[in-house]
């Protein structure tokens, strides 16, 4: 039966060039044997078997030992090329993945798929492309780095870094891009709801037309005005993002717009003119008499507006004297 030493020596020498194998195997055996003797003499091991085990443990992973002899790297992507590797993956990811996602969505729309189907297909396609990109880029880099002399790997991959590669720092801003995008998306969704509720509803009248959620009479005046305020709010989001912080003027503008939206809605709800009575009747015939829904609308709208104002006032700063 093969001893631990046999197994270890084989594991180390198998990846070495033929001409070094025998010589190195003999030397390793002698070294392990010396260590075993030493462990037994010093009483650190109880018997020969334990001593052999301990001696091999000290030598650690044979792959590491063999790499010491061959000089082969013990990594896939080494420190010399790692920064450029990450940079390339990031650049490729940002350049390719959104395009893949967008193309899949467009194809899905033309193929008349359901919304869920389109999202699923786009996610799956983007994920697949991401995995492939990661795999192939990594494979090519590993192969090139392994075949290159250490000093030449960067040249062979054409990735020498220079100060010209430095990107612009992000603009000084209090607002995250995602925050602004979300804010505008929310306003867009609100506008879409105000318009959409007229054409799509949970209930249809006997003629098959949708019963709007909001009183259709509001279209002559109130609803267009509210939509105009929402558009102005979206514009304010953009200006705010470009300015980079809440200035007193922006805070004032924000307050005016918040009030311009909330006040009419609250007033309409308070005078019970907001929700379409026909819609309420469909919802629950007994419910239409009560006015809880108006109270809920008033509270929600007031809370949102109040929060918007308080938040902006809280964050308003005087212009930074160092920047002026």
Partner 1 sequence: MFLVTDSDVLAGHLQELRRGTVVMAALATLSRPTYGYALLESLEQAGFSVDGNTLYPLLRRLEKQGLLVSEWNTEESRPRKFYRVSPEGEALLKALLDEWRTLHISIEKLR
Q: Residue 229's Cα: distance from chain center in Å?
A: 32
Q: Name residue, tokens 């030397």.
A: 27
- Retrieve residue 228's tokens: 């105009």
Considering the complex, state which of residue 65 and residue 130 has its C-beta at the smaller distance from partner 1. 65
User: DSSP string spanning 66-110?
Assistant: HHHHH---SSSS-TTTHHHHHHHHHHHHHHHHHHHHHHHHHHHHH
CA dihedral 104, 109, 114, 119 (to 10 degrees): 30
Applying the rule CB under 8 A, the residues between 41 and 100 that interact with partner 1 are 58-61, 64-65, 68-69, 71
Closest contact distance (angstroms) between CB of 309 and partner 1 is 51
User: How many residues belong to the site for partner 1 (CB under 8 A)?
Assistant: 20
Considering the complex, state which of residue 73 and residue 196 has its C-beta at the smaller distance from partner 1. 73
Considering the complex, state which of residue 30 and residue 189 has its C-beta at the smaller distance from partner 1. 30
Closest contact distance (angstroms) between CB of 64 and partner 1 is 6
Task: Print the binding letters for residues 14-33 with partner 1: x by CB under 8 A, - otherwise.
Answer: ---------xx-xxx-xx-x
Considering the complex, state which of residue 60 and residue 320 has its C-beta at the smaller distance from partner 1. 60
- Retrieve residue 16's tokens: 């070495």
Closest contact distance (angstroms) between CB of 155 and partner 1 is 25
- Retrieve residue 288's tokens: 């239409």
Considering the complex, state which of residue 68 and residue 188 has its C-beta at the smaller distance from partner 1. 68
- Cα–Cα distance for residue pair 197/195, rounded to 1 Å: 6
Closest contact distance (angstroms) between CB of 47 and partner 1 is 19
Give SS3 for 285: coil
Applying the rule CB under 8 A, the residues between 99 and 138 that interact with partner 1 are none
- Cα–Cα distance for residue pair 99/96, rounded to 1 Å: 5
Beta-bridge partner residues of 204: 210
- Retrieve residue 72's tokens: 């082969």
Closest contact distance (angstroms) between CB of 24 and partner 1 is 8
For partner 1, the binding residue among 6, 7, 17, 34 (CB under 8 A) is 34
Binding site for partner 1 (CB under 8 A): 23-24, 26-28, 30-31, 33-35, 38, 58-61, 64-65, 68-69, 71
């Amino acid at each position: 039966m093969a001893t631990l030493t046999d197994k270890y020596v084989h594991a180390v020498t198998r990846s070495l060039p033929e001409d070094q194998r025998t010589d190195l195997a003999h030397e390793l055996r002698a070294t392990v044997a010396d260590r075993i003797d030493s462990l037994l003499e010093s009483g650190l091991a109880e018997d020969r078997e334990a001593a052999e085990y301990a001696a091999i443990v000290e030598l650690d992973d044979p792959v590491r030992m063999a790499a010491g002899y061959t000089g082969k790297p013990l990594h896939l992507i080494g420190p010399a090329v790692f920064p450029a590797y990450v940079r390339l993956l990031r650049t490729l990811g940002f350049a390719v993945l959104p395009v893949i996602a967008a193309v899949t969505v467009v194809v899905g729309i033309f193929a008349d798929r359901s919304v869920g189907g389109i999202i699923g297909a786009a996610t799956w396609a983007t994920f697949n492309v991401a995995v492939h990109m990661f795999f192939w880029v990594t494979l090519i880099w590993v192969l090139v780095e392994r075949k290159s002399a250490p000093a030449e790997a960067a040249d062979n991959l054409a990735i020498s870094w220079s100060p010209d590669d430095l990107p612009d720092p992000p603009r000084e801003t209090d607002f995250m891009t995602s925050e602004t995008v979300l804010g505008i998306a929310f306003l867009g969704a609100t506008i879409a709801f105000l318009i959409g509720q007229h054409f799509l509803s949970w209930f249809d009248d006997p003629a098959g037309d949708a019963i709007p959620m909001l009183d259709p009479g509001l279209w002559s005046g109130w609803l267009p005005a509210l939509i105009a305020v929402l558009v102005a709010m979206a514009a304010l989001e953009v200006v705010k993002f470009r300015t980079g912080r809440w200035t007193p003027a922006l805070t004032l503008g924000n307050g005016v717009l918040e009030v311009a939206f909330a006040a009419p809605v609250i007033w309409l709800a308070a005078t019970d003119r907001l929700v379409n009575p026909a819609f309420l009747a469909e919802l629950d015939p007994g419910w239409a008499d009560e006015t809880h829904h108006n109270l809920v609308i008033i509270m929600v709208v007031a809370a949102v507006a109040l929060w918007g104002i308080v938040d902006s006032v809280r964050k308003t700063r005087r212009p930074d004297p160092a920047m002026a």
